[in-house]
Structure 1
Amino acid sequence: MSVKHPVVAVTGSSGAGTTSVTRTFQEIFHREGIEPAIVEGDSFHRYDREQMRAALADADATGHTLSHFGAEANLLTELAALFRDYGESGVGSVRKYLHNDDEAKPHGLPAGTFTPWEDLKPGSDLLFYEGLHGGAVTDTVDVARHVDLLVGVVPIVNLEWTQKIFRDKTERGYSDEAIIDTILRRMPDYVQYICPQFSRTYINFQRVPTVDTSNPFTARTIPTADESFVIIRFADPKEIDFPYLLSMLHDSFMSRTNSIVVPGGKMHLAMQLIFTPLILRLMDKRPKRPR
């Protein structure tokens, strides 16, 4: 962990909603004049799109598990090294995964590939990561130990599947069979690599729908924010001003001494109220820049 060069990581599985949390952080950074170095978790996948297809075919032929959730398909050693190097000296090597033609065109590369590795631009105030493995720990790699603020985004599993299924059908044109195959293939890695991270986070945001999601494979819509509650769990509740949060977040309540429950429509406001002082605290600990 670092005082001079903080590392903030938002971790959650595919379809969990980490992108929405990232937008909230970006608003805070902009408002407070903070310059982040943004790192996307997809950039630390081991394989590009075509390589992953080939690797999956080999895995199927040999009967072993391979998914983007697991260590084998990701560069976790390199991710830990980035967090460590940035924390020590504000430097590190990154690249970008090009998801589609719009992202790929400015780089003159095909979609589904990576840009070349390059050094982070100097002068950033903190490193911000969003992806699958911000709190990952394996027998050989400990990514989580280098993170100063680790946030988990964890909708209950049926809602997570509903969000993924809906996105993969409407945005990517996947069939039900292909989506189910992906979910089943990822399950061992989900249990081994994704779930344990949420016991290492400083804060977890878990959205719980108040409508029936019993069969996510037949859902025609994603439950809205107003059809949900959000459980916010803190690892160290002594640092949190719960009376203030309860007064600012109408209809919220405490469910445990370390957890507050807020209406889903208040999630963005709750994140603003919680993250802003935490980020400013990280900034206040840094040595002042010479003028």
Structure 2
Amino acid sequence: MSKKHPVIAVTGSSGAGTTTVKVAFEHIFRREGVNPAVIEGDSYHRYDRVAMKTAMEEAEKTGNTNFSHFGPEANLFDKLGETFKKYGDTGSCERRYYLHSDEEAEPFGQKPGEFTPWETIPPGTDLLFYEGLHGGVVDGTTNVAQFVDLLIGVVPIVNLEWIQKIHRDCAQRGYSAEVVTDTILRRMHDYVHYITPQFSRTDINFQRVPTVDTSNPFIARDIPTPDESFVVIRFRDPAKLDVDFPYLLNMVDGSFMSRRNSIVVPGGKMGFAMEIVLAPIIEQMMSQKKSA
């Protein structure tokens, strides 16, 4: 960990809603004048889109029906850990981008599903910000979590997570519900062994819990709205982060404490709650950076 070159990681599985936390951080960074180096979790996949399809087919031939983007075989966990460590030590590292769409690929003259070349980040950044699947992963000798100064988890209850993924992949990526369901099942082994354990290492978890029936996510016609949800915010060590619970309860109307380290807020206040929770932590982090 590093006070001089801090590393922040937001982690959550596909369809979990990590983008909401990313937007909250972007607002805080803009207000506080923080210049982050941003890296994306997808850029640490081992294979591009075409190669991943081939690797999955080869894995199935050997009887491995669980090969997925969630597990170590399809990712560069060691490279991600090295990136976090190097930035914490020096304030510099390499990054690349995974090009999801034609719009993302066009400026680079490449095809969607490819990676850009590795490049050194620009100098003078204040912190490293990661958003993706494996910000707190631990696998054998690779311990990515140990190099993270602030680890955030985004963990909707699993049925809601699946509903969000099915709707997103069908609407935005053109997949059928059956194909998305097959993907969920194939990923389950790695989800249990590599995704879920991260949330016992996070400093803060944001878990959205719907107040409507989501008992069968595979036939849900729509995603529960924020107003049809609560968000449970759990702090692993409130004293470490100097969490002011009375202030949070006063600022977020309708919030309440559910445990000594957990506050529950209305789903419609999720973005606002994230900002008032995270802003003081970032301010303290930048203050420690200046004095380091």
Please give the range of the TM-score, normalised by the shorter of the 2 chains.
over 0.9
- Structure 1: distance between partners of 2:238 and 2:284: 16
Deviation at 1:288, TM superposition (A): 5.8
- Secondary structure at the counterpart of residue 96 of structure 1: coil
- Please state whether the residue corresponding to 1:8 is helix, strand or coil: strand
SS of the aligned residue for 1:206 comes to strand
1:81-124: CA deviation from partner (whole Å, max 9, x where unpaired) = 00000000101111000000000000000110000001011100
The CA distance in 2 between the partners of 1:176 and 1:4, in whole Å, is 46
Per-residue CA shift, 1:221-254, capped at 9, x if unaligned? 1101000000000011232111111111111111
Question: Which 5+ residue runs of structure 2 have no aligned equivalent?
Answer: none
**How far apart are the structure 2 equivalents of 1:230 and 1:193?**
23
Give the structure 2 partner of residue 25 of structure 1: 25
TM-score by length of 2: 0.98
Three-state SS of the structure 2 residue aligned to 1:230 is strand
SS in 1 for 2:257: strand
* Aligned residue number for residue 53 of structure 1: 53
Q: How does 1:125-144 map to 2 (within 5 A)?
A: 125-144=126-145
Q: 2: CA distance between counterparts of 1:67 and 1:194?
A: 12
Unmatched segments (≥5 aa) in structure 1? none
The aligned counterpart of 2:259 is: 256
Cα distance in structure 2, aligned partners of 1:104 and 1:188? 32
* Secondary structure of 1:39's aligned partner: strand
Q: Which moved more, 1:62-71 or 1:15-24?
A: 62-71
1:126 & 1:140 partners in 2: Cα distance?
26
Pairs within 5 Å for 1:1-291? 1-64=1-64, 65-238=66-239, 239-287=242-290
Amino acid at match of 1:89: T
* Cα displacement string for residues 189-224 of structure 1 (whole angstroms, at most 9, x for unaligned residues): 000000000000000000000011111111111101
Q: Distance in 2 between matches of 1:66 and 1:207?
A: 28
Q: How many residues are matched?
A: 289
**Structure 1 counterpart SS, 2:122:** coil
SS at match of 1:98: coil
Report the more deviating stretch, 125-134 or 174-183.
174-183
Query: Deviation of residue 5 (structure 1)?
Result: 0.3
Post-superposition Cα deviations, 1:6-43, rounded to whole Å, max 9, x if no partner, equal 00000000000001110110010011100000000000
State the SS of the aligned residue for 1:145.
helix
* Partner SS, residue 164 of structure 1: helix
Letter in 2 for 1:268: G
Structure 1: distance between partners of 2:43 and 2:219: 32
State percent identity of aligned pairs. 64
* C-alpha distance in 1 between matches for 2:238 and 2:134: 24
Amino acid aligned to 1:219: A
CA offsets 1:43-62 (integer angstroms, 9 cap, x no match): 00000000000001111111
Q: Give, in angstroms, the shift of residue 287 of structure 1.
A: 3.1
Moved more, 156-165 or 235-244: 235-244
Which ranges of 4 or more aligned residues in structure 1 deviate by more than 4 Å?
none
Give the AA of the match of 2:279: T
The one-letter amino acid of 2:22's match is T
Amino acid at match of 2:14: S
Question: What secondary structure is seen at the aligned counterpart in 1 of 2:152?
Answer: strand
Amino acid in the other structure paired with 1:264 = G
Moved more, 279-288 or 105-114: 279-288
